[in-house]
């Protein structure tokens, strides 16, 4: 092979490290996924009465009744089966040798709520996870199952990005020093941020096989609370109060924040990540809401009781809303808010790069 212009060089020789006969090391971030051939996965339609609109409450009702559901499907089903809830479906995993009932009905409750809910299941079809081209439902199931499994690793998710927020716990200094990297920046390296470790995962079908793609990713965590950041912004702002509120919302809407306290069950506590939908200057920690027990309490009282957080009075709140697309009475897809979280700006820190 000669140079394109035919000048000066004669034949172009391949570099020796790519020469034929030299060994080459290769690695991949794709891991083959297989389903145990001794089990089958069946899809059941779920109906709960009285109806529940909050997704997290729906899951509580279903998972609180996991054993009764499995035992109603087959004798001693709780010993050999498992369930996974997604959308309006319940995925049931059982040994191939068992033939579950086509329809079942069980009762369930939510802790702190005296109301009883009835769960009705109706068999739809088997989920095929082997052989030829897999359905989108099968790939969705694998993604949800993977996300639930990774949840046992104390990960907080932003889409398919899972972060080890419990690595920021002050109770784990040895993990903090080895897994959470500190980065200095600014004039004379006067400021400091943390690099929060995590993973990006997805399910891919290549040929007739499913693969887990896993990549390392990081997220920057700032060391100042959002309260301190807003106070600093205020000192350098010369406009009106309304203009300042608009400025803060324009600047921080869509940014991710992480709580400064840990939440969750005792064996799976971590700091949570939320997206800022708006900064509500017309609300404070004294804002009242009705908790899961049906009692009216303020945000400040709730945070003190549940997490030992003492809120500064009259500070503003971050509002984060979880939305879901549903079909309205006209058959059109519309987006509705299914959960609203309000947090004092004292209790959250920004993540990600600033402009």
Give residue-wise pLDDT tens across range 23-73.
Answer: 767 777 888 887 788 888 999 999 999 988 777 788 889 999 999 999 999
219-246 confidence digits (pLDDT tens): 788 878 999 999 999 998 998 999 999 9
Greatest CA separation found in the chain? 88
Give the model's pLDDT for residue 179: 44
pLDDT greater than 50 at residue 175: no
Kindly give, in sequence order, each residue whose CB lies less than 8 Å from that of residue 239, ignoring residues fewer than 6 positions away.
Answer: 247
Rounded Cα distance, 52 and 6, in Å = 75
Kindly give, in sequence order, each residue whose CB lies less than 8 Å from that of residue 208, ignoring residues fewer than 6 positions away.
Answer: 131, 132, 133
Please state the rounded mean pLDDT for residues 151-176: 62
Domains of the chain, each with CATH number or no CATH: 39-127 (3.30.70.2620), 139-351 (2.170.260.10)
Name which of 146, 172, 340, 158 is nearest 269 in CA terms: 172
Residue 337 banded pLDDT, cuts 50, 70, 90:
confident
**How much is the CA Rg of the chain, to the nearest whole Å?**
26
Determine which of 17-26, 137-146, 257-266, 338-347 has the lowest per-residue pLDDT on average.
Answer: 17-26
Give the model's pLDDT for residue 174: 39
Please state the rounded mean pLDDT for residues 323-334: 81
Provide the 10 A C-beta neighbour count for residue 350. Answer: 21
pLDDT greater than 70 at residue 122: yes
Give the model's pLDDT for residue 161: 78
Give the model's pLDDT for residue 176: 38
Span between the terminal Cα atoms of the chain, in Å: 49
pLDDT greater than 80 at residue 4: no
Element (H, E) at 69: helix 66-73
Residue 214 banded pLDDT, cuts 50, 70, 90:
confident
pLDDT greater than 80 at residue 118: yes
């Amino acid at each position: 092979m000669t140079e394109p212009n035919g000048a000066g060089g004669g034949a172009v020789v391949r570099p020796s490290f790519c020469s034929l006969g030299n060994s080459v090391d290769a690695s991949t971030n794709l891991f083959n996924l297989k389903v145990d051939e001794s089990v089958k996965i069946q899809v059941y339609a779920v109906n709960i009465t009285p109806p529940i609109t909050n997704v997290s409450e729906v899951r509580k009702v279903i998972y609180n009744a996991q054993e009764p559901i499995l035992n109603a499907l087959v004798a001693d089903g709780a010993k050999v089966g498992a369930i996974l809830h997604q959308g309006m479906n319940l995925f049931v995993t059982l040994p191939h040798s068992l033939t579950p009932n086509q329809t079942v009905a069980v009762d369930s409750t939510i802790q702190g709520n005296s109301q009883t809910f009835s769960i009705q299941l109706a068999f739809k079809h088997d989920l095929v996870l082997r052989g030829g081209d897999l359905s989108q439902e099968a790939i969705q199931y694998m993604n949800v199952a993977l996300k639930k499994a990774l949840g046992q690793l104390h990960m907080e998710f932003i889409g398919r990005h899972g972060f080890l927020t419990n690595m920021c716990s002050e109770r784990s200094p040895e993990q903090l020093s080895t897994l959470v990297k500190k980065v200095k920046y600014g004039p004379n390296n006067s400021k400091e941020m943390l690099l929060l470790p995590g993973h990006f995962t997805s399910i891919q079908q290549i040929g007739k096989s499913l693969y887990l793609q896993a990549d390392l990713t990081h997220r920057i965590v700032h060391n100042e609370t959002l309260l301190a950041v807003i106070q600093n912004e205020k000192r350098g702002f010369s406009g009106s109060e309304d203009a300042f509120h608009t400025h803060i919302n324009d600047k921080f809407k869509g940014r991710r924040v992480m709580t400064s306290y840990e939440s969750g069950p005792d064996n799976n506590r971590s700091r949570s990540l939320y997206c800022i939908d708006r900064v509500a200057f017309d609300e404070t920690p004294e804002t009242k809401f009705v908790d899961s027990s049906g009692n009216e309490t303020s945000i400040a009282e709730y945070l003190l009781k549940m997490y030992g957080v003492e809120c500064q009075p009259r500070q503003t709140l971050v509002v984060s809303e979880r939305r879901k697309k549903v079909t309205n009475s006209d058959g059109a897809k519309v987006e509705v808010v299914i959960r609203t979280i309000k947090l004092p700006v004292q209790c959250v820190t920004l993540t990600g790069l600033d402009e």
